[in-house]
Amino acid sequence: MKMGEIADPVQLKEEGNKHFQAGEIDKAIECYTKAIKFSKDKKALAVIYRNRSACFLKKENYNNAVSDATKAIDVDAADIKALYRRCQALEKLGKLDMAFKDVQRCATLEPKNKTFLETLRRLGAEIQQKLKTTFSTDSRVQNMFDILFADESDKEKQEKAANNLIVLAREDAGAERIFQNNGVPLLMQLIDTGKPDMILAAIRTLSGMCTGHRARVRNSLKKILKVCGQVPDLPDQLPLTENTQLIASVLLNKVYDDLRCDPERDNFRDVCLKKILKVCGQVPDLPDQLPLTENTQLIASVLLNKVYDDLRCDPERDNFRDVCDEYIKSKFDPNDMDKNIHAINTLSGLLQGPFDVGNVLAGRQGVMEMMVALCGSEREVDQLVAVEALIHASTKTSKASFFISNGVTLLKDMYKKTKNEKIKIRALVGLCKLGSAGGDDYSMRQFAEGSTEKLAKQCRKWLCNPTLDVRTRKWAVEGLAYLTNDADVKDDFVDDEAAMRAMFELTQSKDKTILYAVACTLVNCTNSYDKKEIIPEMVQLAKFSKQHVPEQHPKIYEVVRPLVSLLNTERDGLENFEALLGLTNLAALNDKLRVKILKEKALPEIENYMFEEHDQIRQAATECMCNLVCCKEVQDRYLEDGNDKLKLLILLCGEDDAQLQRAAAGALAMLTAAQKKLAVKITKVTGQWLEIIQRLCIHDNPEIQHRGLVTVFNMLDADEQLAKKLIECELLEILTFVAKLEDNPKKQDAINAARACLSRALDSGFIKPFSN
């Protein structure tokens, strides 16, 4: 506190009152603020807040006036002065309903106060008028447009008004009121404002109004078409949001739906179809072309596909195909290469849209030959169009054989010789697509072993190069989307962390057409695609009739991941059991498969199923573990302290189920052979260890007996004290009995193991040699 500063809240309040009466409002606020700082009494503090609220009312700072009055009311709910001051402030803020509640409480406390009664009557009348105005649709519509056209209107209010207008337009009554209240011209004015958000709101409102109403459609169509035709990258265009033209296209589709029963429908459709085909055929590098963005032609292809899918009967589809066929034929001209390029580019657009139509037209005489011939042209624009057409035309594997025999060499030459990066990357994708034409059918690999890996490596290199533009890197993902059908490519790509990260970063770009290629790549890498069921009888029949039979890639470890995914408590017991059997068989084949199983994090799940109460599942899990214990990673888990893994294995050896005993004893024998510390650890995890080991050594099953005796040998070899303990117990008699058995092919492994144990004990000096 500064020297001379007053610290008495009562005195400060009195000073504030004097300043207020003198009209010195700022000084009064200062005194009240200091008094609040030093006051400790709640009631006195409430009075100060109430007084400062009066000051804020004078200053027209209504928010602070409401805040201070509320603080006073919190202390005393019947503080009539604070209630009325808050009422006054709320009224100024336009919150009439809240102000009405406050003055209503004041009138209840002082029923004869004329000021309160007059305020109560006035606010009640204003609220009724406001409600009447608010619920008047015409007034709502006009109010929304007033807010939207106001230059200085609050942005949040404008967004709310735009959304309300859109919602209103979706209702028949609301749409009619907008239309009758000069709505269409006003919406046209919104489009002409040049504000992207306003244009989008206007298009959405028109969409709601025009649904099922032909008269409104005809009044709106020209403006909608104007919006559809805007090219944002060109000068003097309407500013649009990213979604405006898409919404306009959806609205045009609704127009088409509304004309289904109109005699002009067919003509409307054919005219629109030819216009779309014209857009698809544009080649930006040629003169006198329509101005386009990078995505315009792809959007046109999507629109063609949408129109074709919506056709209801074969005659309509035949007409669609005939119009496209006629259009492409009309562009072929042996004396004008530019027209030929336009025809092939149109076909390319169809192949990206309604593929069945494009595929039929691609099979027309002379079309494929023209595409191949363009690849050999010296003009880069011819090569660019031809390569993209080849890429799109080879989507179906039934057509791939033609391109393999005619186009691969040209694509390779273009890839090696051209300096144009656009053509180079497209030629590579063409090779990628042709190289993966057989899908995962190993017998239909189109290129030599290792070629697809080289193509994929180049794609990954481009993908990870940040100096390349997004569109070029997108083509690299397109290539990987095809090549990841190959198991080798798939493994290399998944292991390439930089490439994976680059692909995911690419999805954040504005070009959302990248997402499909990324999704396809992920589907391939995760084996998430559907596969046709192969019936053995049909395979034999196909071989007999010399038909092609698909062959799977020899790298069978691809099945590990889907099998591991079945080790889930949400799966049923049969799925768990079958998955464990499959993994057991795979783990028995080689180290690479065992490592693959561990890499897929299957080990914890397998360990959990060893505790399962279901006998068959527990047995399958133990058998799988038996095949995995030769891996160092698994051995290390058994060496860790603080778990019951080794104890469980020993106890499973003591179960009555022979198959379970066999698997557990095998795992124990291999573990103790690989890690001597585990041989010693056996004696510490359970007091039943010796009894269980002895039972194994005298088991009727020769395999189980052999595994028990091998475990004993490992224990004798691991530690001298442990070896002495084993020889001094009944185990020596068991070993002697088995070792003295006559040689028997069925039990020879067990007999040899017992003799090896005695030999080891003899070498250690724990027993003396037998006398003759």
> Would you tell me how many other CB atoms lie within 10 Å of the CB of residue 144?
24
Residue 447 has pLDDT above 60, yes or no: no
- Separation CA 12–CA 36 (nearest Å): 9
* Per-residue pLDDT, 541: 66
Q: Which two tokens stand for residue 516?
A: 């499909």
Percent of the chain at pLDDT > 90 equals 23
**pTM for the full predicted model:** 0.41
Whose CA is closest to 559, among 541, 599, 586? 586
* Per-residue pLDDT, 539: 60
From the number of C-beta atoms within 10 Å of its C-beta (0-12, 13-18, 19+), residue 377 rates as middle
The b/e string for 587-597 (b: 16+ C-beta within 10 A; e otherwise) is beeeeebbbbb
- The predicted-structure confidence for 531-550, as pLDDT tens digits, reads as follows 666 666 666 666 566 555 55
Please tell me which residue, 473 or 135, carries the higher pLDDT value.
473
- Separation CA 273–CA 279 (nearest Å): 10
Residue 4 has pLDDT above 50, yes or no: no
* Per-residue pLDDT, 84: 92
Could you tell me the maximum CA-CA distance found in the chain, to the nearest angstrom?
133
- Given a contact cutoff of 8 angstroms between Cβ atoms, the answer to whether 459 and 482 are in contact is no
Range with the poorest average pLDDT among 88-97, 189-198, 423-432: 189-198
- Separation CA 160–CA 175 (nearest Å): 18
**Element counts in the chain: helices (H) and strands (E):** 44, 0
- Separation CA 607–CA 604 (nearest Å): 5
Tell me, what amino acid is at 201? A
- The predicted-structure confidence for 420-432, as pLDDT tens digits, reads as follows 777 887 787 877 7
* Per-residue pLDDT, 444: 45
Rounded average pLDDT over 325-345: 85
From the number of C-beta atoms within 10 Å of its C-beta (0-12, 13-18, 19+), residue 94 rates as exposed
* Per-residue pLDDT, 400: 46
The b/e string for 598-616 (b: 16+ C-beta within 10 A; e otherwise) is bebebbebbbebbebeeeb
Residue 276 has pLDDT above 80, yes or no: yes
pLDDT band at residue 250 using 50, 70 and 90 as cut-offs: low
* Per-residue pLDDT, 662: 94
Rounded average pLDDT over 489-514: 86
Residue 707 has φ and ψ, to the nearest 5°, of: -70, -35
Q: Tell me the DSSP string of 617-647.
A: HHHHHHHHHHHHTTSHHHHHHHHSSS--HHH
> Would you tell me how many other CB atoms lie within 10 Å of the CB of residue 539?
13
* Per-residue pLDDT, 354: 86
Whose CA is closest to 217, among 177, 166, 270, 253? 253
> Would you tell me how many other CB atoms lie within 10 Å of the CB of residue 757?
29
- The predicted-structure confidence for 372-414, as pLDDT tens digits, reads as follows 777 777 787 887 888 788 777 766 555 445 555 555 676 777 7
- Separation CA 490–CA 655 (nearest Å): 44
- Given a contact cutoff of 8 angstroms between Cβ atoms, the answer to whether 710 and 753 are in contact is yes
- Separation CA 331–CA 641 (nearest Å): 79
- Given a contact cutoff of 8 angstroms between Cβ atoms, the answer to whether 640 and 678 are in contact is no
Can you list the alpha helix ranges (DSSP code H) found in 376-496?
Answer: 380-393, 400-406, 408-417, 421-435, 451-463, 470-483, 487-495
